[in-house]
Chain A
Amino acid sequence: MTLTESSTGSTPSYLWTEKYRPKTLDEIVDQKEIVDRLKGFVKALSMPHCLFAGPPGTGKTTAALCLARDLFGTAFADSFAELNASDERGINVVRERVKTFARTRTLRDVPFKILILDEADNMTGDAQQALRRTMERYTETCRFILVCNYSSRIIEPIQSRCAPFRFIPLSDEDIAERLRYIAKQEKVELAEDGIKAILEECDGDLRKAYNTLQAAAAFEKRVDEKVIYTVVGRVVPKDVQEMLLCAFRGNFLEARQRLRRMLVEYGISASDLIKQVHSEIFRFNIPEQLKAQLIDVIGEADFRISEGANDEVQFSALLARLTLISQGKDTR
């Protein structure tokens, strides 16, 4: 797991997601109910373990960082640590880190430290069990904020020990407002159809919206619909579409080659890729009955990918199945 230093580094960040990330709870304009509850923690100088769940780009990590900053003030750097569960799934790192982290006490008013465990739903069941024990053991000196996309992937005993916070996708108006603000700060001319295009593509994910805008602004000082779609076209490789087309036409070898390129060379994670395949199916011009069948086999493949070890083999099995279905030959 990556140990992340506090984000109060001295070099200014040029990633807009960082530059415009709120620093305090007051600066967060959305997720109002959540923010109010968190402010209550700051006022009381006390908090339970928390579980922040919600889709990507809804401000979970930001809220956790702001809470810690508001609570600890200048002692922030010593009192707060961040681990990302996806970078290494071993529980030992968490345990060791918590052990050394929680051992020393701060001299401040706040009698505990905060550990943010990001992407916690990527931990295995066993690791979560061990985490539960660690949480219990150090509960006096260390509060955990578990951040995840799906709280259902967190084991029950951990869920029951945490105060749950459900983050919802930001409204289009909220995102549009943020985009306009940034455009003004960065002296970018942002056309209304540009905003609309971003909103359509980013699906309530603020991080994606910021990155899209920044990439578009790198091209042109005036960002309109056309620029946005150019960016989107470059970010989402055409390979997904083309891979599926190859499979539908029965050219398995070509499909497999594209698959390999995406998984190995581009480093697209299998779970991302299966989601893209899933959403791509809806755009294809094929009979609706066929789509319904395809959805089922994609779901099965998604399940197998999470069960298996070799993503490419699981995907290949899916591609071969897609060929059959598209040829009306699937007898399953």
Chain B
Amino acid sequence: MTMSTPWTLKHRPKDLSEFVGNEEALTALEKWLTSWKTGKPTKRIAFLFGPPGVGKSESVAILAQRLGFDLIEMNASDQRRKDDVQRVAGMASTEASLYGRMKIILLDELEGMSGTEDRGGLSVIASLAGTTRSPLVVIATDRWDRRFTSFRRTSLFIEFKHVPTRSIAPRLREICRREGIDADEDALRVIAERARGDLRSAITDLQALAQGKEKLTYQDVNWLDGRDRQEGVFDVLKNIFNAKTCREARRAASVSDVDYEMLFEWIYENIPHQIPDSDDMASALDALSRADMFFSRIRREQNWGLLPYAIEDMTAGVAMARTHARSGWVPFKFPQRITVMSRTKASRDLRDGIGRKIGRVAHVSVATAITNYIPYLRIIFRANRKWAEELAESLSLEPQEIDFLSKH
């Protein structure tokens, strides 16, 4: 594989365990394909539909491999409609492939097939439902497109949904691992969120941003965190901070696909701007602090039953803290904490590395080394060159670590 190989191909799932999201659809498709092994199912066409980049075609490829089918693929790039239809029809009438294996005929991007404005071609394909000897899978984004009317009664419809952000990010992390890229959590989250459930576009973005790099920081993807994505968050924030009732505030969070941790950061950043009255601000932050304790308990004890309280503290609790009318519109701010975290990552890593070295020599934890040794070392390193050199040697410090201690 070369640099130009799309990562969507290079890192396509090798087996079911690597397939992300849409478990139900996958199960339904597997069941249907398996039924072909023992006879002909009542519905001989599977109509997969759903938004782009969520794994519709990929699921067919994976299951074909797993269940031992040959896959014969046709898509919109085949420009000749009539030929297409004939080829499909012809193939559908022959039983097995060359080596006696069963085959799956896949018609991808049904909307894109040339000539589909003429419903004739598509209805011929739909009519194969009664006769085809091989599983016929068609794929489209919109099942309700009027051109597909003829499939409605004869096909098994399987719906694919958006891949949740929380599933996209780990996949991106895995790809980074394989590519040897050290990626910030925040950077991956931005990419994952921006993709809005489209895993393929997330992977494409990742390749564009990260290929050839050793590190991917939040700074690298900052600009991606652009308008379209932020407006989603802005709407949610607006609804939370303006909510008149607890129900409204809670709903604002539940209908969004912004993940809760990120939403928490956004709310935290914006409380002092949106609820500036000191009384109200203190109550709002108190609610957020309680939400944080709930989240922490949930994580520690895996007690997901507490999640509603965490979310309601964070939304309704914050919204109801306001007792003073607001004065005019105040723009929402991006969570600075995240920016600061990513901006300072390199120096924090350096600091922790020094802490580890001190810890080994001085029998203390990294945290203790950072608070109980590094401040003194900084004084020494700035004041006394000879001692600095000796200390650097006895602690085996690298040049950039010496720099860190010598500079402000």
Residues of A near any B CB (own CB < 8 A): 2, 4-5, 7, 9, 11-15, 17-18, 56, 61, 65, 82, 84-87, 118-119, 122, 124, 207-208, 211-212, 214-215, 218-219, 231, 234-235, 250, 252-253, 256, 260, 264-265, 267-269, 272, 304, 307-310, 312-314, 316-317, 320-321, 323-324, 327, 329
Contacts and interface: CB of A to CB of B under 8 A. Distances in A.
A324 B289 CA distance: 17
Ordered nearest first, which 5 A-B pairs have the shortest CB separation? Answer: A86-B365, A309-B296, A218-B384, A317-B289, A320-B282
B337 interface: yes
A4 B336 contact: no
Interface string B5-32: 0000000000000000000000000000
A87 B365 contact: yes
A309 B295 contact: yes
Given A118-B363, A235-B375, A267 B289 contact: no
A13 B394 contact: yes
A2 B293 contact: no
Contact of A214 (B352, B376, B395): B376
A250 B371 CA distance: 29
Contacts of A329: 278-279
Nearest to A303: B293
B242 to A, nearest CB: 21
B360 interface: yes
Contacts of A85: 365
B390 interface: yes
Contacts of A304: 289, 292-293
A308 B293 contact: yes
Given A4-B360, A265-B348, A321-B282, A119 B365 contact: yes
Interface string B277-310: 0110110011011001101110110000000000
B167 interface: no
Given A212-B376, A320-B286, 9 more contacts: A13-B394, A14-B387, A14-B393, A86-B367, A118-B364, A218-B387, A231-B376, A264-B340, A269-B371
Contact of B376 (A56, A211, A265, A268): A211
Contacts, number: 171
B296 A308 contact: yes
A12 B394 contact: yes
Contacts of B289: 304, 308, 313-314, 316-317
B340 A260 contact: yes
Interface residues of B, number: 58
A314 B352 CA distance: 23
Contacts of A253: 272
Interface in B289-348: 289, 292-293, 295-297, 299-300, 336-337, 340-341, 344, 347-348
Contact of A235 (B297, B351, B376): B376
B366 A14 contact: no
A317 B379 contact: no
B383 interface: yes
A317 B272 contact: no
Contact of A11 (B299, B362, B368, B393): B393
A14 B379 contact: no
B379 A218 contact: yes
Nearest to B366: A87
B367 A269 contact: yes
B282 A324 contact: yes
A84 B365 contact: yes
Contacts of B379: 215, 218-219, 231, 234-235
Nearest to A62: B363
Interface of B: 264, 268, 272, 278-279, 281-282, 285-286, 288-289, 292-293, 295-297, 299-300, 336-337, 340-341, 344, 347-348, 351-352, 355-356, 358-368, 370-373, 375-376, 378-380, 383-384, 387, 390-391, 393-396
A71 to B, nearest CB: 17
A4 to B, nearest CB: 5
Given A218-B379, A234-B379, A265-B348, A320 B285 contact: yes
B365 A219 contact: no
A310 B395 CA distance: 32
Contacts of A7: 361, 363
Given A12-B394, A219-B384, A323 B368 contact: no
B282 A2 contact: no
A265 B344 contact: yes
B269 to A, nearest CB: 9
6 contacts: A5-B360, A15-B358, A252-B272, A268-B371, A309-B299, A316-B289
A18 B361 contact: yes
A265 B279 contact: no
B348 A264 contact: yes
A86 B359 CA distance: 11
Given A214-B376, A267-B351, A308 B292 contact: yes
A13 B377 CA distance: 14
B362 A320 contact: no
A124 B264 CA distance: 25
B340 A267 contact: no
A233 B275 CA distance: 36
Contacts of B395: 15
Contacts of B387: 14, 218
Contacts of A308: 289, 292-293, 295-296
Nearest to B276: A252
Contact of B373 (A15, A118, A269): A15
A85 B364 CA distance: 10
Contacts of A212: 376
Residue with the greatest number of chain B CB neighbours at <10 A, chosen from A4, A215, A269, A327: A215
B373 A252 contact: no
A324 B376 contact: no
Given A15-B391, A252-B272, A321 B286 contact: yes
Contacts of B394: 11-15
A122 B368 CA distance: 12
Nearest to A307: B293
Nearest to A268: B371
Nearest to A9: B361
Nearest to A60: B363
Given A304-B289, A320-B281, A320-B282, A18 B362 contact: yes
B286 to A, nearest CB: 5
Contact of A61 (B340, B363, B383, B390): B363
A65 B363 contact: yes
A312 B337 contact: yes
A319 to B, nearest CB: 8
A252 B279 CA distance: 12
